[in-house]
Structure 1
Amino acid sequence: MKQTIVNNLLKRLFLLSLIIISIISCSKEEVKYQKLQGNVFGTTFHVQYSDTDNINYSADITSLFDKMNKSLSTYHSNSLISQLNDGLSVLKVDSNFVNVFKLSKKIFKDTDGYFDPTVGKMVNAWGFGPHKSNRDPSKNEIDSLMSYVGFDKVSLKGDTIVKQSPNITFDFNATAKGYGVDLVGEFLESKGIKNYLIEIGGEIRARGKNEHGKYWSIGIEEPNFDGTRSLQKVTTLDNEAIATSGNYRKFRIDSITGQKIAHTFNPKTGSPAHTDLLSASVIAPVSCGEVDAYATAFMAMGYEKAKTLAKKHKNMKVYFIYIENDQLKTYASDRLEFVE
C-alpha cells in the first residue's frame, strides 16, 4: 500500500516537472525578435523588436511612412509641405507636420538659428533639393533668397501654418528620418513592446535589450569620402537615440571647379557650411528627431560652438570628428563609453 502511494506521488511529481519544463520552454520560445527592413525616404530602414505574439507589423509601419510622406516629403507634389512651398501662405496641417514644426522651433531657438528648416530655397539653389540646379547661385542671388530664410518668419496657430511670405520654403529633411524613427518607436510601444531598435538611414532609437539580453551596440562611422564604410567607434544605447550628421557622404562635385560642395547649410550665410567638423554624432535619452536636428546644427556651427552647446545639455553625449591644423582629431563627451 505504501509503495503504491509512493509510486503515485513519484508519477505526479514527474508529470509536474514535465509541465514546469514545458511552461519554461514555451515562454522562451514565445519571446522572439522580429526583424524587418525596407526602403523609405530615399534610404533604408531596419526594425528589430521582441514580441511574445510574434506579430509582423510591416504593414502598419509602411502605413506610418506613407502618412508621413503625404505630410512632409518635398518629393511628393501633393504633400502638405509641397503645397506650402508652392506658394501657399496659410495651410491647415496634420499632426505629423505640427510635431515636426514644434520640434524645429525648439531646436532653432536653442541653436541660435543654426538649425533652420526654412532653408529650402537655398537647398534648391545649391542643387540638393527636389528642384535641381546645374550651377552655383551668385552672391546677389544668395542675398535675395536669404530674405526668405528664418524660422521666426513662420508660425503655428493651432493646426495652421502661417508664413510671412509665400516664397518661404520649408525643408525638414534634417529631422525627418529621426522623426520617422520616433513614429515607429511610439507605435511599437503602443503595442506593449519594450525591447526594440529602429534605424532609418543611420538614425537610431533603441529601447530595452537585444535578443542576447544586452544593450544595443551601435557603430559610429569613419568619415570616408571615397564611399567606403568602416567603423570608428562602437558604443551602446541604454534607452537612447543616436543620430550622426556628416559631409563626407552626401555632397556634389562642382562641374567647373571640381570642389566638393557639402549638403549641410549655414542658415546665417545661405551657403554650404564650411566648418572644421567632419562628423557629429549625438546621443541622448530623448526623441530621435531631436538628436537628428542637433547633429545637423552642430555641423553648421563648427567644432567649438558645437562643443560649448553640447556641454550645456547634461543628458547629451557627443562624438565629434574634426580637422585641426590639417590633422584629424576627435572629441568625446566624458560620459560616452565605447566597446573595445
Structure 2
Amino acid sequence: MRKFFLLLFISLVIACTSEKKVKNTLEGFVFGTTYHITYIDASQSNYQKSIDSLFYLINKSLSTYIPTSDISKINNADTTVVVDAFFKEVFYKSKTIYTKTNGYFDPTVGKLVNAWGFGPKKLALKMTANAVDSMMQFVGFDKIAIKNSKIVKQQPEIYLDFNSIAKGYGVDVIGRFLESKNIENYLVEIGGEIRAKGKSNKNKNWKVAIEKPNTDGTQSIQTTVELVNQSMATSGNYRKFRISKEGKKYVHTINPKTGYATESNLLSASVISAADCADVDALATAFMAMGFEKTRAFVEKNKQLFVYLIFVDTDGSIQTYKNF
C-alpha cells in the first residue's frame, strides 16, 4: 500500500511538472487600428469575449468616433454625463503628463485636430492665422476639471480628444485583465503601443521592432529592442499626414503651444518605461511636438525613461539617439 501511494505521488508530480504552458494569440481590429495579444497559459483559456467587452466599454467612454460615447456627449456640451472609472483614470493621467511636459501633451487640442482634418469628420478647414488664434482660446487642460464625476469646462466649446493616450490605456486595461487571470507572461499590442510582461513561450525576453519612418507607405524595421516588464509606445508623423492642394504637408500631431499641424525635427519617438503604456503613449505624442532638443533635455531629467529617437539634424541628415 505504501508503495502504491508513493507511485501515485510520483505520478502526480510528473503530471504537474509536465503541464505545458502554450502560446495563445488573439488579434483583431479596435480603436481604428489592429491589435495582437499573446499570452502563455496552461489552461488554454480563450478570453476573446471578455476582451471584446473591455474594448466596448473603453470605446463607450472615450471614443470621439462614436457619437453616443461619453466623451462625444461632453464635447457636445452635455453637462449631465457622469464619467466612469475609465474616463477618470485617463483624465487624471492626462492631467499629470500635461503638467510634466509643460503643456506639450494636451487633450484639449481636439477642436484643432478636427479643423486640420485629422478628427472623426475629416473637416480640413482652411486654416488662417486668425482661425488658429480663435481656436487656441479653447486649448488648455487647466481649463477643465472633474467635479462630482462630471466634466466642468471653463468654456463649453472645449473639445476633448484622448486618442493620443487611449491606445496605450487600452493596452494597460487588457494587461491588467490577463494578470487578474494569473497570467504572468504576455505581450499586448494595440496599434504599435505595447506592454510586455514576463517571458515569451521560448522563455526569452519579448523582442519588438521599431519601424523606420518611411513616408511612402512601405514598412521596414529600424531596430529591435527587448522589453522586460516594460511598456513601449511610438509616435511619428510619417503615416498620418495630408498634403494640401498647394503642396504643403500637415501632420496629425498638433502642437498645443502654437495650434499648428507642422512637423518638428523629430520624425519618430519611441518611449520605453516600466510605467503604464498610457503614460509612454502620451509622452511619445508630447515629444513629437517638443522636437528633438527639448525631448533629449526632458529625458535627461527623467532617468526612468528610455527613448529611441529618429530626427533630422541641422544639416538635413537623418540621425538617431538612444539612451539605453
Residues 262 and 22 (structure 1 numbering): CA distance in 2 closer, same or farther, change over 3 Å?
same
* 2:160 counterpart SS class: coil
Q: Deviations over 1:59-84 (max 9, x none)?
A: 00000000000000011111000001
* 1:30 counterpart SS class: coil
TM superposition shift of 1:260: 2.4
Counterpart of 2:203 (choices 206, 213, 216) is 213
* Matches of 2:15 and 2:318, distance apart in 1: 52
Counterpart of 1:200 (choices 183, 190, 204) is 190
* Matches of 1:199 and 1:79, distance apart in 2: 24
Paired residues of 1:282 and 1:317 also in contact (CA < 8 A): yes
Paired residues of 1:89 and 1:163 also in contact (CA < 8 A): no
Counterpart of 1:297 (choices 286, 298, 302) is 286
* 1:307 counterpart SS class: helix
* 1:226 counterpart SS class: coil
Counterpart of 2:239 (choices 249, 257, 261) is 249
Q: Deviations over 1:221-261 (max 9, x none)?
A: 1110011111111110010000000000111121x112321
TM superposition shift of 1:30: 3.4
Describe how 1:1-340 pairs up with structure 2 within 5 A: 16=7, 20=10, 23-24=13-14, 27-89=17-79, 91-254=81-244, 256-324=245-313, 325-333=315-323, 336=324
* Matches of 2:226 and 2:124, distance apart in 1: 42
* Matches of 2:86 and 2:70, distance apart in 1: 10
Amino acid at match of 1:181: V
Paired residues of 1:119 and 1:267 also in contact (CA < 8 A): yes
Amino acid at match of 1:66: Y
Q: Which runs of 5+ in 2 are unaligned?
A: none
The normalised TM-score by structure 1 is 0.90
Residues 259 and 106 (structure 1 numbering): CA distance in 2 closer, same or farther, change over 3 Å?
same
Paired residues of 2:79 and 2:150 also in contact (CA < 8 A): no
Amino acid at match of 1:307: R
Residues 239 and 158 (structure 1 numbering): CA distance in 2 closer, same or farther, change over 3 Å?
farther
Paired residues of 1:219 and 1:231 also in contact (CA < 8 A): yes
Name the larger-Rg structure.
1
* 1:6 aligned residue: none
Paired residues of 2:308 and 2:322 also in contact (CA < 8 A): yes
* Matches of 2:146 and 2:251, distance apart in 1: 31
Q: Which runs of 5+ in 1 are unaligned?
A: 1-8
The normalised TM-score by structure 2 is 0.95
Identity of aligned residues (%): 52
Higher deviation after alignment, 27-36 or 211-220: 27-36
* 2:216 counterpart SS class: coil
Runs in 1 of length 4+ with deviation above 4 angstroms? 18-23
